[in-house]
Structure 1
Amino acid sequence: PRRRIPSPDIVIPPPPHPAPPPPGAGQTSPAAPAAFRSWTTAADWQDGTAAGTVVGTGTPAGDRASLTMAAAVGEERREDPFGLLTRRWEYARWTSAFQEAAEPATELVVSWNADTPPGTWLRVEVRARRSDGADTPWYRLADWAADDRDISPASAARQSDGPTAVATDTLAVTEPASGMRLTGYRLRLTLHRAPGHTTGPRVRRAGVMTSAVPVRTTAPPTEPGVGRGVELGLTGLSQYTHTGRYPRYDGGGRAWCSPTSVRMVLAHWGRHPEPGATDWVDRSYDDPDVCHAARRTYDHRYAACGNWPFNTAYAASHPGMNAVVTRLGSLTDVEELVAAGIPVITSQSFADGELPGAGYQTAGHLMVVSGFTADGDVVAHDPAGRTNARVRRVYPRRAFETVWLRTRAELPDGRTLGGSGGVCYLLWPDDADSRQRHALARAGVR
């Protein structure tokens, strides 16, 4: 699986200014097929196997329900490998029914939205079925809590059964060219609480994105559509404002593209940290919300703030918010969301000169698509701007869709650069309007 290096400057420099691939150049294929499965309703949760869990009350979003802890079914002694004390925890567990993949897949990403009051945390695991008929082990994807007081939130060390492997946040077929695929999966959530507590985590949403990622160096071009001339009014936040601040979180602000992008979108929806949550931030620092986001998206195992599901889980820890990791197939899909009022956070990589106007190169970077010009070019709130005033950018449509949708770039010196294949974060509130819900549904998210 492609890994993300969250600073736009950390990359082995390619030869200067390679030209962007022309339309139609390189290996192309249809839009990356992706399917997203959600668990949000009482029927969804009741379709799984409960061991100490129950379906809780709904949310303002109509039929939404949540998974909560009714009774402990076991106890675990957990040693925190990142400096916190070894503690005993009791737990309850929920396991989904087996899910057939909509199409045989090469990758799988799980995201979740949960509340973890003090003294609670959540473990996320998945087991996939391979096309040879064998099941993978139960792969641990995360031990997660909304803050770092009880556990150090972390993904697991690299895991593999040979044909498949997990790297940080992605379960993938190790050799897609072999024909091996993921044909289905089960999701397992283990809710933990300290002995004596009467409440545990509340899981409001779980989602699994499966996709057969095509190997391609470019993607089919699209014509400007419903997003043309639409721009959402985001306030710019620069990751570079925070250079040198709190280096224990992924080296400081230069690597905070993902949490900074998430903070811009949360602010767009009117969500900010709870009162007192940023009291630990030096009072001389501006935009303390970004420091808050970096700390709460930090993956102690990955030692970075770029774990995709950690960022969406952080976003959804704000009251009334939902967030998922998924893939979109084209800028047409992004336009539909933006036209409905939903900014889209995209993951891309590019060499120097491939994205005109960027002024940097990156092996992996997150930014917000916040609109489109009248000509259909991309308006981005790019946290790589050196100041807040320089965050808003306009990027050429064709160049942007190439660096976002491709999975591989062939550099002139023979080296290669990976790509996300259309990965994005979608964040939206419980009270999203009908047009926004319709746009999300067209993106495969409910």
Structure 2
Amino acid sequence: MLRRLATLALPLLVAASLVPAAVAADGSDGSDGSDGSDGSDARTRATAQVQLTSWSSYADFKAGKRRGLKLGRGQVSMLRATPRTVAGKAYEAGTWTSPWATPGFGASAVIPSWEATTPGRTMVRVELRARDASGRTGSWDTVADWARGNRPVKRATYSGQADDLGRVSADTWYAAGAVTSWQVRVTLLRPKGSAKAVSLERIGAVASADASAPRPTSQPGPAAGTVLPVPTYSQMVHSGHYPAWGGGGEAWCSPTSTAMVLAYYGISPAPAGITPGHADAVVDHTAKMVYDHGYRGTGNWAFNTAYAATLVAGDSYVTRMRDLREAEDQIVAGVPLVVSIAFGRNQLAGAPISASNGHLLVIVGFEADGDVVVNDPAGATNAEVRRVYDRAQFEQLWIAASGGTAYVIRNG
């Protein structure tokens, strides 16, 4: 299994600080044809039930509630920490709680993602709760304990917690019934007596309603004929590497894809603790840095973007998109996308593997006719990673499998 899929929901494009539910992802009202069309395509795209909300500026963080933390420019950090015990270890903690985010529709899933600085043995805990139409508020569910490193508490998510209004499944919070608003809480933690500068730079989530129904294929847009020069890495050449981090090969589609996007930006961190002689050892290193000890895999969406955020100068987050037309907007902006698909036998012509119940790859551009150019890490060698997939086939599989889930990783 390359990446488990358990999400069927509709998607968005880029994060503004707080995106109004009635505004289309391209910033228009979805009806004036400002994308260069006659308006009909924009109207269709604006009907998708999805909203990405994030907090990252001084004003954003000021709008939330903080305890033991201070505001800075684009971050919150420790001020007067309070004692906390985590996994039997003594910590000092400070907490920031977001305002309620109201998407304007009944959401069935919420996927949080974050950017944080966790030096030494510091860490962050991410929690989420929701409210339904009756006004009932659910309990706080712990989504993840996360740090760039892995000591003394291992980076992990907490699947289960199936109580009141929802449950956690690795990187996604699922509603038991439709919820009308959600809230996140982030706790910054450092070992007792430490002065390490743990901080939160961004927190947000994409909320969506179920959208497994097929839709007409999107028409090619401004990225037709544009292909970004993203380096090619094969996950398959790492088969058998590091069983403690998933064992390489089919298990490493996500870290391989993340490593390709980082390499496109000229970011290739020196692998630490990797066996000398491994080809493209940065892939092994990335797998180590994104491994989720709760889910026991490298395919956790938010863990990949949170790691990338520690290396890039721009934003790094998980979102959902309505169609490939929205993906084209990112390609035009010079941003390759890691996307999550699944397919059965003979469903994806030209794929290097016959089927997958969950696979991540990189959209790097589009042919002149609108077909999708990808770096598919399932290629047997680096030379076999670049592929072209039929637009209709690919879009249908992407939307049906993950609701158009994508990693948006920007550098600058």
Q: TM-score, normalised on structure 1?
A: 0.80
Match for residue 24 of structure 2?
none
Match for residue 292 of structure 1?
285
Counterpart of 2:114 in 1: which secondary structure? strand
Match for residue 208 of structure 1?
205
- Closer, same or farther in 2 for the Cα pair 1:135/1:281, shift >3 Å? same
Match for residue 229 of structure 1?
225
Match for residue 331 of structure 1?
324
How many residue pairs match? The answer is 372
Match for residue 53 of structure 1?
69
Question: 1:384 is matched with which residue: 367, 378, 386?
Answer: 378
The amino acid of 1:229's aligned partner reads G
Match for residue 120 of structure 2?
118
The amino acid of 1:421's aligned partner reads G
CA shift for structure 1 position 333:
0.4
Aligned 8 A contact 1:272 1:318 in 2: no
Counterpart of 2:327 in 1: which secondary structure? helix
The amino acid of 2:55's aligned partner reads W
CA shift for structure 1 position 319:
4.5
**Per-residue CA shift, 1:77-124, capped at 9, x if unaligned?**
222xxxxxx421111111112222232211101000111000210000
C-alpha separation in 1, matches of 2:126 and 2:155: 12
Aligned 8 A contact 1:101 1:210 in 2: yes
The amino acid of 1:264's aligned partner reads M
> Where does 1:23-102 land on structure 2 (aligned, <5 Å)?
32-57=48-73, 65-73=74-82, 75-79=83-87, 86-102=88-104
C-alpha separation in 1, matches of 2:394 and 2:184: 34
Question: 1:142 is matched with which residue: 124, 141, 144?
Answer: 144
Question: 1:156 is matched with which residue: 155, 158, 165?
Answer: 158
CA shift for structure 1 position 424:
0.7
C-alpha separation in 1, matches of 2:118 and 2:197: 7
Q: Indicate the RMSD between aligned Cα atoms, in angstroms.
A: 1.8
CA shift for structure 1 position 68:
1.0
Task: Tell me if 1:241 matches 2:237.
Answer: yes
Task: Tell me if 1:396 matches 2:390.
Answer: yes
Aligned 8 A contact 1:342 1:427 in 2: yes
C-alpha separation in 2, matches of 1:321 and 1:29: 26
- Closer, same or farther in 2 for the Cα pair 1:287/1:345, shift >3 Å? same
Percent sequence identity over aligned pairs: 38
Aligned 8 A contact 2:130 2:165 in 1: no
- Closer, same or farther in 2 for the Cα pair 1:370/1:285, shift >3 Å? same
Which ranges of structure 2 fall in alignment gaps of 5 or more residues?
A: 5-43
Task: Tell me if 1:374 matches 2:374.
Answer: no
- Closer, same or farther in 2 for the Cα pair 1:157/1:400, shift >3 Å? closer
Q: TM-score, normalised on structure 2?
A: 0.87
Aligned 8 A contact 1:226 1:335 in 2: yes
C-alpha separation in 1, matches of 2:3 and 2:102: 37
Moved more, 129-138 or 324-333: 129-138
Match for residue 131 of structure 1?
133
C-alpha separation in 2, matches of 1:246 and 1:56: 40
The amino acid of 2:364's aligned partner reads S
Question: 2:405 is matched with which residue: 423, 430, 439?
Answer: 423
Aligned 8 A contact 1:347 1:364 in 2: yes
**Per-residue CA shift, 1:248-272, capped at 9, x if unaligned?**
1123232010111011001111222
Match for residue 32 of structure 2?
none
Which ranges of structure 1 fall in alignment gaps of 5 or more residues?
A: 9-27, 58-64, 80-85, 175-179, 407-418, 432-446
Match for residue 170 of structure 1?
172
Aligned 8 A contact 1:32 1:328 in 2: no
C-alpha separation in 2, matches of 1:293 and 1:97: 33
Match for residue 15 of structure 1?
none
